[in-house]
Amino acid sequence: MIGAASALVAANAQTPLPYQNPDLPLETRVADLLSRMSLPEKAGQMVQVNVTRLMGSGPWDRGPLNTGFLEDVLGKAQVGSVLSGGGAAPVPNTPRAWAEMTNALQRFTLSKSRLKIPLLYGADGVHGHNNVPVATMFPHNFGAAAAFDAKLGEQMALSTARAMRATGVRWNFAPDADLGRDPRWGRFYETFGEQPALASSFVAAQVRGFQGGSVAATVKHFVGYGLAPDGRDRAPATVSDTDLRELLLPPFRAAIDAGAMSLMVNSGALNGEPVHASGRLLTNLLRGELKFGGVVISDWDDVANLKTVHRVASSDAEAVQQAVMAGVDVMMVPIEAASTAAVLVKLVEGGQVTRARVDEAVSRVLTLKFKLGLFEQPFVDETQADAAMLDRDLARRAASATMTLLKNDAGVLPLSSDTKTLLIVGDAANDASRQLGGWSVEWQGLPAGSAVSAVTIVQGIKAAAPSSLRLMFDSGTDATRLQRAARDADAIVAVIGETPYAEGKGDNPSLNLPVDQLEIVRNLRNLGKPVVTVLFAGRPVNLESVLPVSNALLMAYLPGSEGGRAVADALFGARNPSGRLPFSWPKTASQLPATLGTTAQNAPLYPFGTGLSYTTFEAQNPRFTAPLEVSLDVTNTGKRAGTRTVLAWTRDGSRERLVGWASVSLKAGERQTVQITVDAGANGKEVIVEGLNLKR
């Protein structure tokens, strides 16, 4: 049968088969190709392999592509998708090497594929094309959310997609639609904060941005990820139906409405049920209720985890059967993709997995490949890869928009022009890895000695400082030496922060800063000079020892490549900070949970939406101008121009929820009427805008 089909393809070399004709309807092309595929070919489309399995001399080696491995996995097993997981990259890790690698994989695949089905390559581009050292990296999501500007988020996603596409990566495992409601969780910084409305706006915007750049977006992790009561990554979670529908589902619904082409599954269990084996969630809820029609992909090795972690499957075969029949279309199997495809074939032949379910899944995968244009244009121009990597102006603008001023006693910031000598304290001030965070070149952050396209705070200050300003630096680890240095300074900028992390390795039950950073904080006591503390962190950390020694505190989040310039702009007043916290900042970990609507007795240190400015604003006369539109007058009552994001939320008993916002930029003394469109959930409820209550 295969031989006959091969002859048919050869005979039609000059006359395209229906699926090869781009003028035919998509559904026709998919149906025609599916009808020509064998069961092993279909199974190959339902697995994804990590690129290291195809490299060097072993499954985790990072070397040149190995022809023997390519033959085993892409040739014989006909695996249809490859990913770079955990920082897997070509050697050298350059844009051109990426393009050459993906082209080589594509050429090999097409040379072996009987039906010329192209390969689809995926990676985690969560804050830029962050697998490539020279690529511009943007602020991580929870910082980006502080700008309350989804259009800016869409621009960053589009820039990311252009860089990824230039290197042959057409499937992005982003955006993250999970909510950040427990900062102990190591993936907190990958979220857009605690409020579903804000997360929904950014998730939808990123879907539009990625896919506007011809890269498939993957909304993740459906559903209930990150809700473990102690903040442990991938731990089981329990959620009420009310919270599922009012908190967790809206960002996913927004992504689906925006046209997300794929979705990734929660690695954990929800209400006692592993999500990868839940037909109730992946079929009834996702397909039936939310009407998602794209590809569902597992997370890293999570089908095998049904046996090894969740213990609901007694064998690898049973794990595959459970996941596929529950609704998983593509299984991310980093090493054993070929053998998993073979297992799937046997399951179908034995009747444990239906042929209809396989055809359904493969149709979705083929649809994705057709939509991305891979059948018509499977290769990239290797000579253009380098030129697509940089977008520094956008990165600087984005990082500046995130800067959130939490404390500014006596107007210490912006730094006075009378400052003649500035002492910069802390190695984090000249450490790109701390401002980039996890998922930067490598899974756990920037490897030591990596050359990246990033501007540190020291570099940013040097570039922005007036020539008359004398700059000094001290690591801050020796109290006596720091005391001596401080005597000559007019002001001190102390830069502290977390070391990079990702996923479970970043879980932090205490919320404490690393020990070496706390040592610097202790050494800042009693210096007798104003101290401005700049914080790099992927979560709200414990500030019990930080606030007493800080006259000003600037939350810089994980600002990306241009973080140094953005911080310098804030310090010297070239940019007035306008960020507002997209999460609640607890006093300590013992106070958790602490989110919007927490009772006064358990009020967080900094409530959701906290953010100071170098000027002052006054809001007056809030009123409904339409059933779902609120207007109010905002005046800049200070002496500097500034931007204010006006927030609206509803209160229903003890439950509070963000329902709308709008930003306004005002010169000193200027007044404007601001209009806020609130979501339908505000109908009939009390609405609060900037602390002012509106009742219908």
Q: Are 345 and 39 in contact (CB under 8 A)?
A: yes
Q: Are 597 and 185 in contact (CB under 8 A)?
A: no
Which of 124, 299, 431, 507 is an active site residue?
299
Catalytic (active site) residue 391? no
Q: How far apart are CA 348 and CA 326, in angstroms?
A: 15
Read off φ and ψ for residue 136, nearest 5 degrees.
Answer: -65, 135
Note whether 550 and 407 are within 8 A (CB): yes
The candidate with the shortest Cα–Cα distance to 531, out of 502, 512, 554, is 554
Cα–Cα–Cα angle for 566, 124, 238, rounded to 5 degrees: 100
CA–CA separation, 347 and 188 (whole Å): 38
**Which residues share a beta bridge with 491?**
422
At 489, list the tokens: 């300074």
SS3 606: strand
Contacts of 592 (CB under 8 A, 6+ apart): 182, 183, 184, 231, 586
Distance CA 300, CA 284 (A): 23
Distances (CA, A) of 572 to 415, 455, 480, 495, 528: 5, 16, 28, 15, 21
Residue reference for tokens 């074939």: 345
Going by C-alpha positions, the residue among 326, 364, 361, 356 that lies closest to residue 341 is 361
* CA dist., res. 39 & res. 351, Å (int): 13
Three-class DSSP category at 572: helix
Q: CB atoms < 10 A from the CB of 421, how many?
A: 16
| Residues forming the active site | 299
